[in-house]
Amino acid sequence: VVNEARLLEGFLSLVRIDSPSGEEDAVAGELRARIEALGGRTSVDERGNLYAAFEGEGEPLLFSGHMDTVEPGRSITPLVEGDLIRTDGSTILGGDDKGGLAAILEGYEAARESGNTRAIELLFTRGEELGLDGAKAADFSRLRAREAVVFDGEGGPSKVIVEAPFILAIDGTVVGRSAHAGVEPEKGISALRLAMDLLAGFPQGRLDHETTANVGRLEAGLVRNSVPERCTFLAEVRSRSEARLNAEWRQLEGLVDAARRENPEARFEIDFHLATHGYKMTADESVVALVCAALRRTGVEPELAAMGGATDANVFAGHGIRGAVVGFGGENFHTKAETVRISQLVAAARLCEDLARA
């Protein structure tokens, strides 16, 4: 049975260990010690991601969360007020994702205390907030599990994220020719104008119910009176439909090809790459059914949802691991108003306990 006091103390002590992205050593050491005390075999890869395996029955199931937090996330002072945990207002809380990590450890410990467990693996990543960096560098040969539950959602555990987008990243540089803008503009080729013409053809905003596009950054030129020689930009398209993403991708490459043909003296160095895998699961998918059944057994009615952002589960999808994302009662992630609701943190630990039982 989940021990609420132990869960709360476990969570608060993790929150008090600073772990902004890139500085996860201390919290990783603490987590490793706790996992080993529970009988887990641990290892760390070159990137610093923490892996663990617990012996048990059947095919292993992977529980995952990330160890890093965003800023301002140093010297965090968590305050408990009734059912709510918040900060003193000067920092984030770091419930994202220490609520997930605490729920996993308490859930597993509770399952172990009450009898036989199934085989469980853990992957606690670094640098998730930098763009899933830790997961992208993870050594998946250390994991046997093909199904995962990622405790990194906003809200309570009843919301099961079963769809997340594929993300196409576009990094562009246009190179023209500089010239004095007042004396000899004819000799120049404005990289800025060429980039603007190209980007004017890029779709932006919400394209359909599962697809969005954005140009997030454009940078060019040095001074007012010079024709800009270089222009760089960052754009993206994200879609929960891989087919739609690929159609947009082909269309955008077509626009770039046309710009090259029309401006043979300029250079268009435009890199398209799939930055993040996506996934789309239904209620029949085995990991979704597993999580929903466990939620119902703990008295929580599951609701399946889609998200527009990415989590480590997106990276897992690219490695053939099907992952459902659930919450642990956290709200207002990445802000000083971040909170965690204790009753939902307990519910997340109960979910974990149920999943870990043999």
Query: Which residues form the catalytic set?
Result: 68, 128
User: Measured in Å, how far apart are the chain's first and last C-alpha atoms?
Assistant: 14
CA-based max dimension of the chain: 84
Nearer to Zn ion, 100 or 228 (CB): 100
Judged by the rule CB under 5 A, the positions of this chain that interact with Zn ion are 96-97, 152
Q: At its nearest, how many Å lie between Zn ion and the CB of residue 145? A: 20
Q: At its nearest, how many Å lie between Zn ion and the CB of residue 328? A: 10
HSE-up of residue 89 (Cα within 13 Å, Cβ side): 0
Nearer to Zn ion, 152 or 229 (CB): 152
Nearer to Zn ion, 135 or 252 (CB): 135
Other Cβ atoms less than 10 A from the Cβ of 164: the count is: 25
Q: At its nearest, how many Å lie between Zn ion and the CB of residue 188? A: 47
Nearer to Zn ion, 97 or 338 (CB): 97
CB burial of 283-320 (b: ≥16 within 10 Å; e: otherwise) equals: eebebbebbbebbeebebebebeebeebbbbbbbbbee
Give residues with Cβ within 8 angstroms of 302, minimum separation 6.
158, 159, 160, 291, 292, 295, 296
Nearer to Zn ion, 152 or 353 (CB): 152
Q: For residue 316, what are its two tokens?
A: 């897992």
HSE-up of residue 59 (Cα within 13 Å, Cβ side): 9
Residue 279 near residue 164, CB atoms below 8 Å = yes
Q: At its nearest, how many Å lie between Zn ion and the CB of residue 139? A: 21
Cα of 318 vs its chain's centroid, Å: 13
Q: For residue 146, what are its two tokens?
A: 């093909």
Q: At its nearest, how many Å lie between Zn ion and the CB of residue 174? A: 35
Residue 173 near residue 211, CB atoms below 8 Å = no
- Rounded Cα distance between 145 and 320, Å, is 10
- Rounded Cα distance between 33 and 12, Å, is 16
Give residues with Cβ within 8 angstroms of 67, minimum separation 6.
19, 24, 27, 28, 31, 50, 97, 101, 124, 125, 126, 134
- Rounded Cα distance between 80 and 12, Å, is 9
